[in-house]
Every structure is written in structure tokens, then in C-alpha cells.
Amino acid sequence: MTFSDAISESRAAPRLRRATMTDADKREAKIGLAFVSPWLIGFLIFYAVPMVASFVFSLLDYNLATPEDASLIGLANWQRLLFDDPNVWQGLWVTTKFALISLPISLASAFFLAVLLNSTNLIGRNLFRTLFFAPSLVPFVASVLIWGQVLNPNTGWVNRIIEWFGINAVGLDGIRWLDTPSLIPFTFTVIGIWGIGNAILITLAGLQGIPTALEEAAQIDGAGYWRRLWTISVPMVTPVIFYNLVLGAVGLLQYFLQPFVLNGTSGYPEGATNFFMIYFYKQAFDFASMGYGAALAWFIFFFGLAITIILFGTQKYWVYYAAE
């Protein structure tokens, strides 16, 4: 066959027609749309429309106390938060510093507790799994208030237990967990670990998904427990660790409830609790500056998006997927 014959055959070949939907297909599509429409309507009302509205607010000089005086100011709010407001960068630094301390400790705690709960040598491990997960079911405000009493320098049982070891921990000269700037990151990290039940559960599921053949082969080759843990268990659950890492990083950028409940919005002590979201709350609700607050919200959104993109860019260097 010559080249010209091939061209003529290709021209003569019938074109593929786009598949048309039958009446049954259309009816099925309408039924499916009807089932998902409550979610779509909820998404539009509670997510899409507020997001668009908040972006519009970020371009306005809009105060809730005097909404009639709202005026378009363009990017003035953005210029203020980027170049003229040092409190923004202080709040971002406090949040980032706390995340760098809290996130590794939380991830490591979730992993090693999951390893412990996955051990066949642990007596009553089903009971312990329930006990470790149960605190995450307690409303977080309630658990934070309980921790506030537990860490009370005068009546809290933490200081009283420390007192048993001969350390002066109770009273005016005792350990003040929520009043000492250097102790704030550690204190809030411990409170946060109280609620890592979900991370433990997900990591435990990842550990149970590791093929037993890998463990058995390594054991036959003479690999000890810690060698198998480091060379098999850790690489196989890196997707789960990565998942917890991304969720934890995004969650810590929105860190608000613990400092708000325990220390309010003053940043006490000495600005140690002046997290970014605390500053956002003060601007948007204490000062009713909704325009500037909306700009702050979009700023932390873009910052979190950048962090997420960076994390996803690093996963090819350390996250192992079995299908690869």
C-alpha cells in the first residue's frame, strides 16, 4: 500500500460519533443529581458564597459597627498586613515556631503508640486501643478546660505529683505552666497529644496493612525487631505519616481554640500565645474590622496552600508507595 492509498483510506474511515444518552441514562443522571444536590446546595451556601464574599470584604474598609460606611479600598488591607502591621508576622512566627515543636512530637507519639497497640505481646490491646482513642471523642473545649484545672499551679494534680519528688511546684513560686512563656509550647503540645486518637487509629491501620511476608522474610534473614521496624514498618507507613503531616500542618496554621480558652486574646504571657488566628479573631470580632479580618483569613489560606504544595513536592523523596 502506498502512502497516498493510506491517506485516502484514513479519509474514508467513518468518524466516531459521540455517544448519546438514552432516556434511561438521563433518568439515572437526574436521580444521581437529586441525591447529591443537598450537598451541592450546602457547599454553595456554606462554602462557595462565603469564600467569595470574604474575598470581596478583603477589598473593603468594612467595620461591623458601621456597615453603612463600607467603602472599596482595593489592596490597602493587603498592603497593611504585608508591610505595615508587625503583629501579622509576629503571629505567624509564633504559630510557625509552635508547629515546628508540636508537629514532630505529635507525629512521633502517634507512630510509637500505634506500634505499641499493634504489638501481639500487649495484653489487653483491644482495651488499650479504646482507651487511647476515647479522649479524641471528648468535646475539645471541655478537655481544654479540664487541662486548665489539671495544670493549675495551686490545685492542679500535675504540680502536686511533682511536689512529691521534692521539687517546689505548688504555690506562687511553683511551676506555672500557662504563665511562663518558655513553657507555653510544651504545655500546649501535651494538651494536643491528648487528642491524637485519630492519628493513632490511621497509623495503626497502616501498620496492619503491611504484608506479613516482609516481616517473616526479614526475621528469617536475622533482622532484629528495631531493624525491622526501621527498614520495613516505617517505609511502609510513610503515606500515612505524610497524610498526618499535611493534616497536622494545616490544622496548626489554624491553631486557635487552646490559647483562646486558656489565655484569651491578650497574647499572655508576653505574647507567647499571640498565634495568628488569635490576632485574626481580635481584628475581625473584637475590633469588628471585618474587611481587614477577611484579608488576614485569605493570607493564612494562601500561606497554608504554599506549605501544602511544598509538602507534596517533598513526598517523592521520602514517601514510599507500594505500587511504585
Cell numbers given for 181: 512563656
pLDDT in the model for residue 7:
47
Helix axes 290-318, 238-253, angle to 10 degrees: 160
Measured between alpha carbons, how far is 10 from 33 in angstroms, rounded to an integer?
A: 40
Q: Where are the domains of the chain?
A: 19-72, 76-318
Long-range interactions of 188-191: CB distance < 8 A, separation 24+: 188/98, 188/102, 188/258, 188/259, 189/98, 189/101, 189/102, 189/105, 189/106, 191/143, 191/144, 191/147, 191/258
Q: Is 95 exposed, middle or buried (0-12, 13-18, 19+ CB in 10 A)?
A: buried
List of residues 6+ apart from 291 with CB closer than 8 A: 57, 58, 59, 60, 61, 62, 63, 70, 73, 77
Measured between alpha carbons, how far is 263 from 157 in angstroms, rounded to an integer?
A: 20
Measured between alpha carbons, how far is 278 from 255 in angstroms, rounded to an integer?
A: 8
Cell numbers given for 188: 500546649
**Number of other CB atoms surrounding residue 145 within 10 Å:** 13
| Local confidence pLDDT in tens for the 324 residues of the chain | 554 554 455 555 455 556 677 888 888 889 999 999 999 999 999 999 999 999 999 999 999 999 899 999 999 999 999 999 999 999 999 999 999 999 999 999 999 999 999 988 888 888 999 999 998 888 889 999 999 999 998 888 898 898 888 888 877 678 899 999 999 999 999 999 988 999 999 999 999 998 888 888 998 888 888 999 999 999 999 999 999 999 999 999 999 999 999 999 999 999 999 999 999 999 999 999 999 999 999 999 999 999 999 999 999 999 998 755
Task: Assign 3-class secondary structure to 129-156.
Answer: HHHHHHHHHCCHHHHHHHHHHHCCCCCC
Can you name the CATH fold of 76-318? MetI-like fold (1.10.3720)
Which tens digit of pLDDT belongs to each residue from 20-40? Answer: 778 888 888 899 999 999 999
Instruction: Indicate whether this model's pTM tops 0.75.
Output: yes
Measured between alpha carbons, how far is 135 from 131 in angstroms, rounded to an integer?
A: 7
User: Strand pairing partners for 61?
Assistant: 71
Give CA separation, 300 vs 75, 242, 254, 305, in Å. Answer: 16, 21, 8, 8
pLDDT in the model for residue 106:
96
pLDDT in the model for residue 63:
94
